[in-house]
Amino acid sequence: MYADKTLKCKECGAEFVFTAGEQEFYAQRGFVNEPQRCKACRDARKANSNSAREMYTAVCAECGKEAKVPFKPNGDRPVYCSECFAKRNG
């Protein structure tokens, strides 16, 4: 049903194989687009997006401790440290 395909990475231009197993996995998950980047470029892109996240300092609305959050608090909603957040949503 599926056969290995050779694709070209849009990031680095290298050829990579989109295996029959990967195609089946994509189909099971309902993905309609083929991968556009090789594994190395996907991994590098993922690492850059995670490390590029800027963290902001806020005061926890429940316990008063310092909290680091991935959004800029603007004061219209309470901000919780990770421990208090887990208690409230656990």
DSSP annotation string for 29-61 = HT--SPP-S-HHHHHHHHHHHHHT---EEEE-T
CA 72 to chain centre: 19
Please give the model's pTM, rounded to 2 decimal places.
0.54
Domain-wise residue ranges, the chain: 5-51, 56-89
Distances (CA, A) of 82 to 43, 58, 72, 77, 78: 27, 12, 16, 16, 13
Look at residue 1 in the predicted model and tell me its pLDDT. 84
Q: How many CB atoms lie within 10 A of CB 79?
A: 19
Mean pLDDT, all residues of the chain: 91
Q: Tell me the pLDDT band of 48, cut-offs 50, 70 and 90.
A: confident
Mean pLDDT of 64-84: 92
Q: Quick one: which of 51, 88, 83, 47 has its CA closest to 70?
A: 51
